[in-house]
A and B are shown apart, each in its own frame.
Chain A
Amino acid sequence: MPQFRMTGRGLWITVLIVPPLAFVALFIVYPIISAFAYAFFDWQGLKRLDFVGLENFHTVLFVEPYRSWTINAFKNNIIVFFALMVLQNGLGFILAYALWRELPGARFHRIAVFLPVVLSTIIVAYLFKLFYHPLFGVVNVTLKNIGLDWLAQPWLGQSSTALGSIIVAQAWHMVGFPTLVFLAGMQRIPSEILDAVRMETESEWVKITKVVWPLVAPSATIVFTLLFVGAFNWFELPYIMGGLDGSPFGSTDVLGLYFYRTAFGNVSSGQQDFGLGSALAVLIFIFIAVIAAVITTRLRAREIQL
């Protein structure tokens, strides 16, 4: 084993590495480990009671009403993930392709598409709450003005449309991000490869599916993985637009809200249970970590070195 000597260089490296490592340990590693630990105890408010083993995990997964709540929130997260996969990543890919092909106005749209990403989530949430307002919202007013009165409805006020409406707001907010990542991926494709494809076909569909899509695989890995993590940690938009209870009737409830409610209590009932909350957090963490690892390795395998 090489001996570690405190040379000038070694000192420099130590000085640069220790503070961020300490920061990560204190604010990321320590909370995760303590959440693990909390999940095995019974709690009364902030007071820790007895060690209960896997009891908390058992409760959130198998004991009513927690069981139904967990399943409902998890199901909604899955809907959010797949809907955003289409609305955010799918649309992002198409937008990136259009921007990349330098259609008229590409310079303007390149900025316009990314602008919402910069907006604060709070602002986006309130903006869309106003858009969806049943009486004065721009959505319903527009529908009435173009004669589609029958389509106007209380978007956020009924179970059938609430989650979808929030998903649309989320997609509008973040679509610029996958667009940007895909665009960067496309711009890395050498122009002669595109010329070579044009010599063989004029079908945009063939160009996209057989050449562009396989060659932007690294971008796809990034946006798929981040979307997966983001979708299962989703909190801000449903919190502001649907409320802490996932109103109406739990139709916008997601794991993030459910965890928060369970651990810290909600507005109406101050009931809080750190043990159950931590158990939920641990389950969410493990689920995301395992699936994200699988997605990443699977997608990495199909990436090509340009």
Chain B
Amino acid sequence: MTSTKPTSADRKSAESASAAVHVGTSDPRTLIMNNLRQSGIFVALVVIVALFAFLTDGLSLSPGNITNIVLQYSYILVLAIGMVIVIIGGHIDLSVGSVVALTGAVSAVVVIRQGQPWWVGVLAALVVGIAVGAWHGFWVAYVGIPAFIVTLAGMLLFRGLTLRVLDNISLSPFPAEYNRIAAGFLNGLIGGDGYDAFTLLIGGIAVAGYVVSCFRTRAARVRYQQPVESFALFVARMALVGAVVMWFAWQLAHARGLPIVLIILAALVLVYGLLTRRTVFGRQVYAIGGNLSAAMLSGVKVRTVNFWIFVNMGFLSAVAGIIFSSRSNGAQPAAGNMFELDAIAAAFIGGAAVTGGVGTVVGAMVGGLIMAVMSNGMQLMGVDQSLQSVVKGLVLLVAVAFDVYNKRRAGASR
């Protein structure tokens, strides 16, 4: 667990390299091995992206397809943010698919059936999601029922309520404003010839913000006499991140512009990345998952923390529910089926430990992207649905096997 900004692959690897430079006592090989769990998934993502770019003759990296991936998998990534926090705390949530369906259904009833404005639907969905989270949190934290059971019950319960709310039929279509949440783009605001200048501008602002934050972190490190990487490496790292972000923005600018969901997702990743690393709450989640008894005897209010973990999961499920209902332009009784499994898989592929206490939001995002790029690539290649499922299953298994192997190795050297 190094303290890095939740930004990108190269930062992480640069971080381990910097440690190698400044902690003279350990040899670089050990450091690389120790950081393999962290950096390994970034390597895996790059390999998978390259593999599918090759297999699809570059089609997977085309502007249109990149936009598609963002639109198609954003709600899974939103769920994965909440799920990785649940898993770090040592729990699991099997109900998120049903909660996505329920919140989408409530929103659809409010907006489509009752004719309320779009934002009333959004608010209603969020309230329902938070209430569901509080329900789970109550049973897990205050009654002491294992989350597996509570959320398994929730999965059935909220699927049933979804059917009730929708009277067993699909509702559609949403008004255009609601559709814009998942299908809308911010573009053409400042023109551009064949591309969207606004998207590039936002990309530029993001890179600038990243650079500023890096400099500030570095300055603080120096002030506290902490080791920092060499200046050349520092600049190279920022240049690489900047290049990747700008290339990404360039591709989007040549397709349909900046998707609104991407802005929502980026904001959530930023906020939750900081929440898990930099707040008392986030630290306590890691402490509880790492050693429950020790956390309790260190004065952590375990029940309160567990309660809020689930309230937060409910909130993010509602966000995902809104995005999904907006994207599918309506609410269906079977919406969100199996989403929980995709979110759980993303968290575990991203390095979260089955026993709790380990995991990062960025890791879960990369894990989710690995699943997304694989599914998308196989679809582009026309691979059979059944085979897709087999491949995804094997990837999950190998990822967790790697984690278990890693832990056993660490345990043996103890």
Tell me whether A and B are bound partners: no
Chain A residues with CB under 8 Å of chain B are: none
Residue ranges of B at the interface with A (Cβ–Cβ < 8 Å): none
